[in-house]
């Protein structure tokens, strides 16, 4: 059944994924709501990246349904899937910028790939996005190696935003960053939501980040969602698995300042 609520922008219904004999996702059902941030937490090898790849239509589930913006994408062919993929902006771990390309060429990449806009127009749009993200337009000439970690994240975000996707997907956005820069990235994710109305789906090992930004947190263990709810419900709710997972992370819910949105 397709979702009846148009705010249910990403809906998974009993999604399973097998690689050979190994079932990596064992019946995942979830709803991500428009203009909210959903954070997926869980240990290594739990199936988080596989789940993301299914959501962004890079991988097909073995069974189950995936609704994006109300449309069941599981029966679609390559051509229709390409249309669906454009609804997503991906922000990769370590920003995944191309080292031999300038910032301008990195950020321009989606427009060069997916549009036939003239070079001048593309450059204007890049400069506009860099400015929106608080980067000096001068950075356009720089190479990724000349930027700080936080600046690289902003450039990665600028690139993910170029096609103005309604949904932003982040795979481990704060890993490898110092705590201060990680908090800046949290603010940036929240800012994207406030200013552009995007829906965010974030995979994270960073429990402090999850507490700050999540409207909804999902705990995945061995291919199943074992707990879901607000961060507070995970930290202090009925699920022993969730309380345990959070306790082992060493981060206490009670010492995290409430997010800006509250």
Residue ranges binding Mg ion (CB under 5 A) = 49
What CA dihedral angle connects 130, 133, 138 and 144, to 10 degrees? -80
Residue nearest to Mg ion (CB): 49
User: Which of 205/243 has CB closer to ligand ATP?
Assistant: 205
- The answer to whether 231 and 223 are in contact (CB under 8 A) is no
The DSSP call for residue 258 is P
Q: Which stretch binds ligand ATP (CB under 6 A): 46-54, 78-86, 174-182, 206-214?
A: 46-54
Of 31, 55, 52, the C-alpha closest to 42 is 52
Q: State which of residues 45, 70, 176, 179 lies at the interface with ligand ATP (CB under 6 A).
A: 45
Nearest approach in angstroms of CB 218 to ligand ATP is: 12
Q: State which of residues 37, 38, 50, 204 lies at the interface with ligand ATP (CB under 6 A).
A: 50
Q: Is 245 helix (H, G, I), strand (E, B) or coil?
A: helix
The DSSP call for residue 134 is T
By CB under 6 A, the residues from 10 to 29 that bind ligand ATP are: 19, 24
Nearest approach in angstroms of CB 1 to Mg ion is: 30
Q: Which stretch binds ligand ATP (CB under 6 A): 28-36, 37-45, 156-164, 187-195?
A: 37-45
Q: State which of residues 12, 37, 48, 168 lies at the interface with ligand ATP (CB under 6 A).
A: 48
- The answer to whether 228 and 218 are in contact (CB under 8 A) is yes
Q: Choose the one of Mg ion, ligand ATP, none that binds residue 137, judging by a C-beta under 5 to 8 angstroms depending on kind.
A: none
- What one-character-per-residue DSSP string does 35-64 give? T-EEEEEE-TTSSHHHHHHHHTTSS--SEE
User: Which of 59/72 has CB closer to ligand ATP?
Assistant: 59
First and final C-alpha spacing in the chain: 34
Position 61 contacts ligand ATP (CB under 6 A): no
Q: State which of residues 47, 61, 165, 229 lies at the interface with ligand ATP (CB under 6 A).
A: 47
Q: Facing residues of 171 across strands?
A: 203
Q: State which of residues 44, 75, 78, 250 lies at the interface with ligand ATP (CB under 6 A).
A: 44
Nearest approach in angstroms of CB 93 to ligand ATP is: 9
Query: What value does the CA radius of gyration of the chain take, rounded to a whole number of Å?
Result: 18
Q: Which stretch binds ligand ATP (CB under 6 A): 44-52, 104-112, 190-198, 228-236?
A: 44-52
The DSSP H or E segment spanning 15 is strand 8-19
Q: Choose the one of ligand ATP, Mg ion, none that binds residue 24, judging by a C-beta under 5 to 8 angstroms depending on kind.
A: ligand ATP
Residue with tokens 């941030």: 37
Of 4, 84, 148, 63, the C-alpha closest to 156 is 148
Nearest approach in angstroms of CB 203 to ligand ATP is: 7
65 burial level (CB within 10 Å; 0-12, 13-18, 19+): middle
Give the footprint of ligand ATP on this chain (CB under 6 A): 19, 24, 42, 44-50
């Amino acid at each position: 059944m397709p979702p009846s609520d148009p705010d249910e922008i990403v809906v998974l219904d009993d999604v399973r994924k097998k690689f050979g004999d190994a079932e990596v996702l064992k019946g995942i059902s979830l709803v991500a709501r428009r203009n909210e941030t959903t954070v997926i937490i869980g240990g290594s090898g739990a199936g988080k990246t596989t789940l993301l790849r299914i959501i962004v239509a890079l991988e097909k589930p073995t069974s189950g349904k995936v609704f994006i913006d109300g449309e069941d994408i599981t029966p679609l062919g390559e051509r229709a899937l390409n249309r669906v993929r454009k609804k997503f902006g991906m922000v990769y771990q370590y920003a995944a910028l191309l080292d031999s390309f300038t910032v301008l060429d990195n950020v321009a990449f989606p427009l060069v790939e997916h549009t036939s806009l003239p070079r001048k127009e593309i450059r204007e749009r890049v400069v506009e996005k860099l400015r929106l993200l608080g980067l000096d337009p001068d950075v356009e000439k720089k190479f990724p190696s000349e930027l700080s970690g936080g600046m690289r994240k902003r450039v990665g975000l600028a690139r993910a935003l170029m096609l103005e996707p309604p949904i932003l997907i982040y795979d481990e956005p704060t890993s490898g960053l110092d705590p201060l820069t990680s908090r800046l990235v949290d603010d940036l994710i929240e800012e994207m939501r406030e200013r552009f109305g995007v829906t965010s789906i974030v995979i994270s090992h960073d429990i402090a980040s999850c507490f700050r930004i999540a409207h909804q947190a999902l705990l995945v263990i061995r291919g199943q969602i074992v707990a879901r709810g607000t961060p507070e419900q995970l930290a202090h709710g009925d699920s022993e698995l969730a309380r345990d997972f959070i306790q082992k992370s060493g981060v206490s819910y009670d010492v995290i300042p409430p997010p800006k949105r509250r």
